[in-house]
Amino acid sequence: MDLNTIREKYIAHFKAQSHAVIPSASLVPENDPTTLFTGSGMQPLVPYLLGEVHPKGTRLVDSQKCFRSGDIEEVGDNRHTTFFEMLGNWSLGDYWKKEQLAWIYSFLTDELELDPQRLFVTVFAGDESLGIGKDVDSVEIWKSLFAEKNVSSETALMGSEEEGSKRGMKDGERIFFYNAEKNWWSRSGVPGNMPPGEPGGPDSEIFYQFDVEHNQAFGEHCHPNCDCGRYLEIGNSVFMQYLKNEDGTFKTLPKQNVDFGGGLERILMAVTNTPDIVAVSHAPIIAYLEQHSDKKYGDDEQTTKAFRIIADHMKAAVFLIAEGIYPSNTDQGYFVRRLIRRAVRYADMLGIQGGGCASVVKPIADMYGTVYPDIPAKRVEIENAVAHEDEKFRTTLARGLREFEKITGTTVTGKEAFLLFSTYGFPYEMTEELATERGMTVDVQEFKEEMKAHQDLSRAGSEQKFKSGLADTGEKTTMLHTCTHLLLAGLRKYLGEGVHQAGSNITPLRLRFDFTYPEKVPQDVLDKVEAYVNEVLTAHCAVETVILEKDEAKEKGVEGSFWEKYPDEVTVYSVVSDDGTVYSRELCGGPHVKNTGEIVGVFKIVKESSSSAGVRRIKAVLEP
């Protein structure tokens, strides 16, 4: 069995229960500027879980592409990947626990023929402070399902992970109660962390037991939620029935939903009884790498790690580039760059022959072609993007090495290591290796702090804050941001090409824009500029992005200030009408609406004044 077979079987299993099949949403959330990537199956379905009517009905099934950027550095062991697929079935106020647990159990034990003896489940232990009790309903359902398969069904109260490791498991126990830390699901985790308006609920997870001895480094005794590798969570049925109130209490949602998520690759691990995610779900990539190097997967720890990193990172990069996310220094593109650069370095270590990392695109395209035909269709484009980044990386590396040689003393400070990482693309391990060769050490603690600060920033997407002057990336702010581009284009049209941006600050309520111009702007010009912006809003123009080399963008007359702050490659946003009229073309880091038709309201300039010598300031709003 491979990934394709399991995906097919799952979809068919739920189709037989009247579920409509929905396609995977894209890896970059479409209407959610708060996160960079889709990291779970439920993310694209949030509006429907909150009550919006889904066009396909109340029973849905899918396999969602997911990318978790936070796991990049973890990749290399036997269980972490950045890209994976999450099988999902959804009840939008339709069926409930009895159907869900029975259907998923029969999928695992009848369809996939997993050994029922190896399956263990967890349920919510309840939380008095929330007034939400133990999930005894799920326990009863599980007990009858286990009885049908003639396996034991004793229950045990574990509580926290720590308590679980102290207590351990006894013979016959199969159903374990854990607290909210483990058996409550929401996008923001435990109930206490959920913001008002966020949906969540208790869940019941299914674990597969491998033939792996417990490792006491992870706790005294083993238990389903122990991280030693003996147990692996392969599915999670979330009973999405609560909504957080403003005052911190919970109310039940008007419709009670089921959100099931199961890692496709993990399920393949269980089916093949192999506790190594890369060996089973990246097999064709591993085979390709073995053919093109004189190394074998499993030769030694370092080699195995290199295989895993190349396979995972290239797979993720291929899927992201196929969605139009090219390597860059900002936002999503930054992660694509990191993935490729890390893969290139490990490919060098293995001595991959014949085209380097770009040549790894083909086995990936072959592997996924039937389900994701856009990947083979865009293969050449993807290969070119990888090859281009590979080349750039080598140039930067050479510059980075010169930078490294300048470091004196016996310690590479965390700041220096971070500079090498962020500006010269040096993965941390490389700085460490170079340091060791020269008898130096690296201040890893300080590096981690620098890294953490940076990650927090990019995760929140708030890099945008200072780049484009945005206070947040909410919908209103995004609309006003696109208006800001049109405003500048209008000003340049009527006041001349000498006008450039001098500053920008946007809140959900208004935009404030500073620009270079020596005198007061006459009212009739302001009227024309306003009309120009409104014309573009009513014309429903597309907002298009391309990534260009900085010099090329300058040559093409792309508008932009602060060129020096941008990387070698820049993102250019153009507002273009159906008939090809370009209303604005500007350097930017986003976010923007996809079409000016999404902008609600009429654009209105409310004030024009002096800001400082040679700089004017406009405040404008979108009037309902």
Binding site for ligand SER (CB under 6 A): 40-42, 88, 185, 236, 238, 259-261
User: Which two structure tokens, joined as six digits, stand for 152?
Assistant: 């034991």
Scored b (16 or more CB within 10 A) or e, 362-391 reads bbbbebbeeebeebbebbeebbebbbebbe
Tell me whether residue 45 or residue 344 sits nearer to ligand SER (CB atom).
45
Q: C-beta of 262: minimal distance to ligand SER in Å? A: 8
Burial zone of 42 (CB within 10 Å; 0-12 exposed, 13-18 middle, 19+ buried): buried
Tell me whether residue 41 or residue 425 sits nearer to ligand SER (CB atom).
41
Tell me whether residue 88 or residue 425 sits nearer to ligand SER (CB atom).
88
Nearest 5 degrees, angle CA 335-CA 339-CA 341? 115
Tell me whether residue 107 or residue 583 sits nearer to ligand SER (CB atom).
107
Q: C-beta of 39: minimal distance to ligand SER in Å? A: 8
User: Which two structure tokens, joined as six digits, stand for 515?
Assistant: 């620009």
The CA distances from residue 540 to 56, 163, 224, in Å, are 27, 58, 53
- The residue to which tokens 């990387």 are assigned: 567
Q: C-beta of 43: minimal distance to ligand SER in Å? A: 8
Name the residue number minimizing CB distance to ligand SER. 261
Tell me whether residue 263 or residue 589 sits nearer to ligand SER (CB atom).
263
Residue 353 region by backbone torsions, left for phi larger than 0, else alpha for psi between -120 and 50, else beta = beta
Q: C-beta of 88: minimal distance to ligand SER in Å? A: 6
Q: Cα(620)–Cα(604) distance, rounded to whole angstroms?
A: 5
Cα dihedral 74, 80, 85, 90 in deg (nearest 10): -100
Q: How many CB atoms lie within 10 A of CB 397?
A: 18
Q: C-beta of 24: minimal distance to ligand SER in Å? A: 13
Tell me whether residue 42 or residue 310 sits nearer to ligand SER (CB atom).
42
Tell me whether residue 73 or residue 233 sits nearer to ligand SER (CB atom).
233
Tell me whether residue 239 or residue 326 sits nearer to ligand SER (CB atom).
239
Q: C-beta of 91: minimal distance to ligand SER in Å? A: 12
Q: C-beta of 241: minimal distance to ligand SER in Å? A: 13
User: Which two structure tokens, joined as six digits, stand for 577?
Assistant: 């009408």
Q: C-beta of 87: minimal distance to ligand SER in Å? A: 9
Sign of CA pseudo-dihedral 351, 357, 359, 362: positive
